[in-house]
Structure 1
């Protein structure tokens, strides 16, 4: 079913830690289910999509309302896939990368004018998809090797019939018990930022390095974590307009990133079993857990790390 509708130095800080263990190559088909069509058993079938004529602000509000990181763009009548908009595209628009030219050049910095453009101006048109006949093994291999957080599922007519994400695959694979702990598979060598870093600097860091999230550290203590979705929500829930007086995007992107940090911060420790880490992520509906030891941040474990780890077990 379809329903349309700081400073720079702080932002460039690298937290160096010991590297994670190398768990060797992955044989996806021997480790993960490989029944044809099984992807539809773990995917979301009730796909929310939007036509290419949708205004950017309407797409962002839709994504914020439903808690989506990505929104398929489809023809209104046929539901054939035409593109996709992600939280990354939105932070790119707000100052992170090439999409920012829509604001800075075409609309001379006027954010309100830019977000009233159609979503086709920022959507990714060449979308990696997965067929509805795919197995979970094939989806897992695509996610791990291509480092893609979510894939639209299409039928033979290129009609979107579902969407599958890292979280869906992690949930399916985490049912198998393992002795692996967080320390073995966590991401190390983290790039972090400070609470007073401007939001605009954070968006540029994320786009430049391909990050979806940045830990915020103050005096070696974890202050919080900011994600691409948090920055997108800043626009989607209207908060950005409450702080906008001139209409210029630079005004709101100069605010410190601590403005976006919520009071909820969920963490884990190095010796936690990855089954327990996956369960906590699913219960708290978060995509990553900072790893804390002796009161300090030593790593980050993400849905991607867990999908990769479970596929190796």
Structure 2
């Protein structure tokens, strides 16, 4: 079934940027709409010129090599860089799909390119929408998959202390290509910080005012616990992946720490559903066209 018939994704994208859009505008737009990606389009012909993600923004803000733009071009003035540097300078060139493509094409493209979102183009190559891994995860049926969380979780988990400074967490996200930091104190789960939390923090008014006053170093030294979600929803490693999916939907989150007898042993994410489940021996995945669902489950051991 074609994307135009399935009608899933977001049309148009919640946030769209132009090549000359200031980076700060993209940050605030992502915060306001709760998204992690913004297609960059040509203002004249609406053609795709690139994409900017929350990871690109965190990289620029100090997590990675793109911080050099702030240091070398703006003399370390983060606020000036945020409000003057065009988003095009930190973009990447994303793969994309067309409205006439099938769901299988979307999933295959995401798996092969290990990417979390794809712009959707019409027949005239205009950007008309965007599909994220969350949109695809939401298509999975909440059934007992006969797959244990332990089989698809990531382990060991990269963790931080709640008191570690934000800049260290940002660097961890970029260097390890992850979007979530689990906070642990004395072997106890204390919270979780997502890349969206980082974007929200930089976009909020008091942080923006600190940056305007030149207090960038104070901002990036903020303890991670200040940004973290205090109530963390978790799951047991012996639970079925279908139960994990149900919990994620109930709480509108994209990942669950995995605890065994109060010990952190892993983390399971929406991407694990997309990338790892189809690769497990004995598991079959098929699209129920009538119900517009993806059904996955173990059919033999």
Say whether residues 1:64 and 2:25 are aligned partners: no
Q: Give the whole-Å Cα distance in 1 for the aligned partners of 2:259 and 2:4.
A: 37
Q: CA separation of 1:80/1:188 partners in 2, compared to 1, >3 Å: closer, same or farther?
A: same
The equivalent of 2:89 in structure 1 is 121
Q: Which runs of 5+ in 1 are unaligned?
A: 1-34
The alpha carbon displacement at 1:276 in A equals: 2.2
SS in 2 for 1:82: strand
Report Cα offsets for 1:202-237 as digits up to 9, x if no partner.
111111111111211111111111111111111122
Structure 1 75/245 Cα, relative in aligned 2: closer, same or farther at 3 Å? closer
Q: Distance in 1 between matches of 2:6 and 2:129?
A: 7
Aligned ranges 1:210-249 → 2 under 5 Å: 210-241=177-208, 243-244=210-211, 246-249=213-216
Quick one: distance in 1 between partners of 2:121 and 2:87?
21
Secondary structure of 1:99's aligned partner: helix
CA distance in 2, matches of 1:239, 1:39: 44
C-alpha spacing 1:39/1:139, structure 2 compared with 1 (3 Å): farther
2:288 corresponding residue in structure 1 = none
Offset of 1:245 from its aligned partner? Answer: 7.7
User: 1:244 deviation in Å?
Assistant: 4.6
Cα RMSD of the aligned pairs, angstroms, is 2.0
Q: Which residue of 1 aligns with 2:245?
A: 278
What residue is the counterpart of 1:52 in the other structure?
A: 19
Shift of the alpha carbon at 1:79?
2.2
* SS of alignment partner, residue 163 of structure 1: strand
Q: In 1, distance between residues paired with 2:142 and 2:98?
A: 24
Aligned to 2:135: 168
- Number of residues of Structure 1 aligned to a counterpart in Structure 2: 278
Partner Cα distance (2:143, 2:106) in 1? 18
Structure 1 residue 40: Cα displacement: 4.9
Q: Secondary structure at the match of 1:207?
A: helix
Tell me, in whole angstroms, the C-alpha distance in 2 between the residues paired with 1:37 and 1:120.
28
The residue aligned with 2:224 is 257
**What SS class does the counterpart of residue 47 from structure 1 fall into?**
coil
Matching residue within 287, 291, 298 for 2:258: 291
Q: Do structure 1's residue 41 and structure 2's residue 7 form an aligned pair?
A: yes
Match of 2:161 in 1: 194
What's the CA shift string for 1:164-220, capped at 9, x where partnerless? 111111111335542212122111122111112111111111111111112111111
- By how many angstroms is 1:159 displaced? 1.1
TM-score calculated relative to the size of structure 1: 0.82
Aligned counterparts of 2:142 and 2:4: Cα–Cα separation in 1: 16
Deviates more, 1:223-232 or 1:62-71: 223-232
Q: Distance in 1 between matches of 2:186 and 2:112?
A: 36
The reply on whether 1:103 has 2:82 as its aligned counterpart is no
Q: From the superposition, tell whether residues 216 and 39 of structure 1 become closer, same or farther in structure 2 (CA, over 3 Å).
A: farther
Which residue in 2 is equivalent to 1:180? 147
Q: Is the 8 A contact 2:52 2:91 kept in 1?
A: yes
- Structure 2, unmatched stretches of 5+, are 285-301
Higher relative contact order (CA 8 A, sep 6+): 1
- Displacement, 1:95? 0.6
Q: CA deviation at 1:42?
A: 2.2
